[in-house]
Structure 1
């Protein structure tokens, strides 16, 4: 093997004698040697042409050798520094730390690394970089390893994009000939742009998680306050009722507490997940920040692949909303004073509302009593108006009311209306019965099922009530259908038998104590709720 293949990784060693250069000379290709070594090398060579032992560049005639005075001055400074025997206390290299490239016989910790010299220096050997004019322009960084080529034992100086790796200058004319080769600075600039973009994305994600935590903490506080208020109002209301209602009071409180615990448990768990994710994001962001601050291009590019990307960050399912007990409290206040035989029906409705926290498309809703004026005004809608949710977009909601189609408002302004509540509110107050005379409200511009031949002045008779839809026989249109909320009563017709506790239009269900009805179950169950349509002695028909 030729002598130049066994060169050591020392910037100022002669590649022929492998020692610090003496009377250094620089040949036309830019490499430097001891004057005696290069002359002896050419004299012993059997080649007719002279060439550089390192890069193999040939010269038609033997170059004139002149002493490189500047390099000689640097080498002399190094020799003088190497002769200084004293080592400052605390400067010995610890295991795993970067050692000075020029200290021999003792391992001294490096204080700086030179990216131009590709060597590390202790405080003593670093001195020439501050005193020698030619070295003052070199770029000094914190101590770092100087990787070398495994094949040529040369410093890695350029980046091969074809093979995605750093190579030495000899590799360019060898294994990486005709490859896409760029400087480490160029490769870093390109990758730094990508890393900075990824860092900004991580920063945005971190801020978003912090905002979610803040919003969640606000929601938790509001949920606690709402639940506390609901419990207090429930206790004050139920304590004023008879002992029959006290049992239901405990039932309502228990359900409020259970739902509150469920909401807060979910919120607390999500907060912990968000905090863990935030910590991970901050740690990843800190890692990328440290890499961005490093001044060593090779270390930067080699560690770039290990940096996380935004796509690696799993998104957590966020808690869209927490429940509110406001509707429970309002229902309790409304419930106060109701008759005893309706108590169980109303309590069931309250419990159903307590578990209902989200409004969805298709739900029946109305404006909350606590809302003075909706954000987008009332329009033709009133507090008694009940509509169907058509679309939801974040906090915004679109509702089709009988009085106004496509009404626009906010979800926080609305409350859910169950079918049982709708029927109960209409029938318990004696609003509509089979046989009642009714007409379309003046506030309704166009009924949901259109006018037909009916007008605001038309008066018809209720033929049937099913759900929130009634069938009316008008002189202009027999079997006309419309929503209960679209109609108003003209004259109430009594159709309750004196001996019966029920009247037509009442909401009823089979008693829980009845195991098998007289005329069998059919498709009915204990949970089925129907409306009385006819009464005959002890027989009740309902739909």
Structure 2
């Protein structure tokens, strides 16, 4: 290749070299080469840097390369590399032209016009320099003693306007030398370098621990990903296996169905063959009788008395039907009986399937709870799990995955009764619910405040307008707290359910202030009706009338949930209702062993008909509050409401 002449070093070449600037830096001053020289081993240095290095580190007249440590017996001549020097000059000019100070970057304090980016800062001069203006600190002997650092804002003492060089361990802050004679006199102080080294060792240990923790967490995540993928695959296999089992079950039922159908058809053919024989025989007898009828007709039409008398005995003797016994079609198989048998089989299979499948589903839920036990107790704040698309007993009118409620009761069948804001006594399965912690809601809870769920409260007299406005509530309104979430409280007032307010706006009601509430006389299981003086109940009539008599199912503050024959889960206000004397179970004389049926007025029972009809008569198996369990011939352990049933004499 042609040698590059000094005047052929272009800016383009310098720009190409700029991308690999570290290769053209002096290993002693760590800056771009200035007056570059190359020693016999091939390494290049600034002339002043290598000269000063050899002058201060002369050992027995030997000289070493600072990089490869090669030793020279005599001091090698330091000849300036002209080509490399020109490259460095072009490189500096190109770098300087391209390195304008941007936002947040340090600018050279000596450049006029365009603000060139600084590359070094001097702690002695307390100034920053670009590549051009920093050169005197490398060439001028007096400036060579100054300490250069990477371009940065030089922190100074606000009191003495001096560079911060010392660290005060007593006050844990950086100070200047003058501070040691002033505010920090007698304190435990060290140089910033020593403190930096000690803290850097600690910080390095911390960084190592953080890295180890990251690695451990990454392994946990990797294992968790494998476990989740394996669990998902297991669930898919379970689904596929369930589909296969149920498909085989369907095929089995179809096979047995075909066998029954073939049997019915075979019996039908046998019966039809017998019927065809009888039809043929009857037809032959009819033909024979018609012939005799013709003989009789001929005899009756004869005019000769002698001939008539001579033939009378013969004809009259054989003209009767004694020789033709009566016939009837009597099939071997009665198909209405077959229909009854098939229907009975269907009902039994449905009952068994419902029971077995429900038990299987429940066992799956129990297994999930057993493997992942969740300690939920009365008073806990809970919500529906995000994985639940539709709860078993539906969502209700105001409940979503974000709704947070309070557990009111836990039933023996792993069913929870929960009070949500705007929806009291919601029912859901334990396996569908998860507890809500303070972290889940992004802050600390105020459940520990003086107002808690179940308390009677009213709006403070000092509050002119509540944060969420009055609605139908007034200062005289007394309600029951159903939820406390952060600083927000949800209250059921007689005038308005699910009313929202601030905890600071509410006052606890002393028991003496309550007097005798109208619902003190009501208990779950009481028979009630709407007062005749009530024209329009607060929540509407629905299918209920003044003549309707129902049973109280739930009491929540002033709100009553009543099961009427015409409408289940009807909601009313205690002040709108009146008691009906006598207990419903006594009036109906319902007890285990009594024969009952569904009332004719009931269109659809609360829990559905199942295989039961209006004509079905069963025997009471058990009574639990307002629920009754009946054994019908069509369906065992059928569940209904007491108010839906009537005793059969």
Q: Same fold (TM over 0.5)?
A: no
Greater gyration radius: 2
> Whose RCO is larger (CA < 8 A, sep 6+)?
1
Question: TM-score if structure 2 supplies the norm length?
Answer: 0.26
TM-score w.r.t. the length of structure 1 is 0.31
